[in-house]
Amino acid sequence: MSLVQFNDRVEAIAGALDIPIERARTLIGSVIVAQMLPDEAVVKGGIGVKFRLGEVGTRATADMDVATRNRSTFLDELNHRLEIGWGTVPASRGALKRNPDAPPRLAFSGRARAAKQARPDGVLAEYLMEPYDVTLHFVGKPWKKVHVEVGHDEIGGLEDAYHPTEIANQIAAIGRVLDFGELAPVPLISLEQQIAQKIHAATEQGSTRAHDLVDLQLLWHAGTLGGQGLDLPKLADRCRRTFAYRQAHTWPPISAMSNALETRYQVAKNEANQADLLVATLPEACAWLNARIEEIDTH
């Protein structure tokens, strides 16, 4: 398979999912990087939502968030695995002509480099995510840059992360269409820890993360009605511990985003295309979250 043929498959997947091609490229790039993550790294954030729930029915996301116990060795370990690579494609026509038994070629390899770290005022250094740019190569040719943000294990949350987790059927189906190799299960942050972190981010003073209100509704539905098994006592514990650790504001918080963020909420809601699961407006989403916070706080 050539790079052109691979891009044609990506375009076909985007068409089948009815999403923009770049959104499909970001998803597929993240799926490939996830196959080469170091041990004790778990996926979280928007890509984690997709790995748990699927591409269709979730919002677009531009980067891949992971957490790890040891950030000091993450880059070296990731580059080692990127050098080894993942997946195979058949030998080229020329190679097969010379040798009918020519071995398959490596599909994906890459290189990760540190990117510029944002340093907002008032945020503790240990809370900041460490950014990396992973350049993926397909059969030796540059294909896609995947932006990876790495956080650390804040409250021992990796102890109850899902190791490993079967990826959503829709993501697994994409892997079968690409046919570079069987996708291994991917370690995901626990549902309870992911919800706790998103509640914290969405309720910080001046938060502009209207998209987190979309993610929270989808995760809550999956955990309570969708068979994901949300543990409310555990969620309450993770919320209290996350808020105590980050020390930005106290538990229980109040969700009250500015109405100026309505457009951001609508964009994320439309990307998810789940009108039956998502409330219509930003004020309604804040009210929904406040009701969930009250419910969590009873445990």
Q: Which residues contact 254 (CB under 8 A, 6 or more apart)?
A: 203, 290, 293
| Maximum average pLDDT range among 126-135, 144-153, 217-226, 287-296 | 287-296
The mean pLDDT value for 154-183 works out to 84
The mean pLDDT value for 11-20 works out to 95
The mean pLDDT value for 267-292 works out to 96
* Contact of 254 with 299, CB cutoff 8 Å: no
CB-side neighbour CA atoms (13 Å) of 236: 9
Apex 277 CA angle, 272 and 278, nearest 5: 70
Sheet containing 105-114, strands listed edge to edge, beginning at the edge strand earlier in sequence: 86-89, 105-114, 130-138, 141-152, 64-68, 41-44, 186-188, 162-165
Could you give the dihedral angle defined by the CA atoms of residues 262, 149, 147 and 260, in that order, rounded to the nearest 10 degrees?
A: 10
Give the DSSP letter of residue 11: H
Which three-class secondary structure state does DSSP give residue 243? helix
Q: Torsion-angle region of residue 292: left (phi > 0), alpha (psi -120 to 50) or beta?
A: alpha
The pLDDT of residue 122: 52
The pLDDT of residue 128: 80
The mean pLDDT value for 244-250 works out to 92
The mean pLDDT value for 85-107 works out to 95
Amino acid at 165: T
Cα(170)–Cα(157) distance, rounded to whole angstroms? 27
Whether residue 286 is predicted with pLDDT greater than 90 in this model: the reply is: yes
State how far the alpha carbon of 66 is from the alpha carbons of 71, 193, 219, 279, 286, in Å.
10, 13, 18, 28, 26
The mean pLDDT value for 128-132 works out to 90
Please report which confidence band the pLDDT of residue 15 belongs to, taking 50, 70 and 90 as the band edges.
very high
Name which of 128, 202, 197, 188 is nearest 160 in CA terms.
Answer: 188
Q: Report residue 299 CA to chain centroid gap.
A: 28
Bridge pairing between strands 105-114 and 41-44: unpaired
Whether residue 20 is predicted with pLDDT greater than 70 in this model: the reply is: yes
Q: What are phi and psi of 203, to 5 degrees?
A: -110, 5
Cα(293)–Cα(299) distance, rounded to whole angstroms? 10
Q: What is the tens place of the pLDDT at every residue in 63-72?
A: 999 999 888 8
Cα(209)–Cα(261) distance, rounded to whole angstroms? 8
Q: Enter the tokens of residue 4.
A: 């052109």
DSSP alpha helix (H) spans, the chain? 3-17, 21-34, 45-53, 71-84, 93-98, 169-178, 191-203, 210-224, 232-246, 262-272, 282-296
Q: What are phi and psi of 89, to 5 degrees?
A: -130, 155
The pLDDT of residue 120: 59
Q: Enter the tokens of residue 224.
A: 């309570």
Where exactly are the structural domains of the chain? 1-189, 190-299
pTM exceeding 0.75: yes
* Contact of 120 with 135, CB cutoff 8 Å: no
Please report which confidence band the pLDDT of residue 124 belongs to, taking 50, 70 and 90 as the band edges.
low
Bridge pairing between strands 186-188 and 130-138: unpaired
| Beta bridge partner(s), residue 151 | 67
CB-side neighbour CA atoms (13 Å) of 225: 5
Whether residue 186 is predicted with pLDDT greater than 60 in this model: the reply is: yes
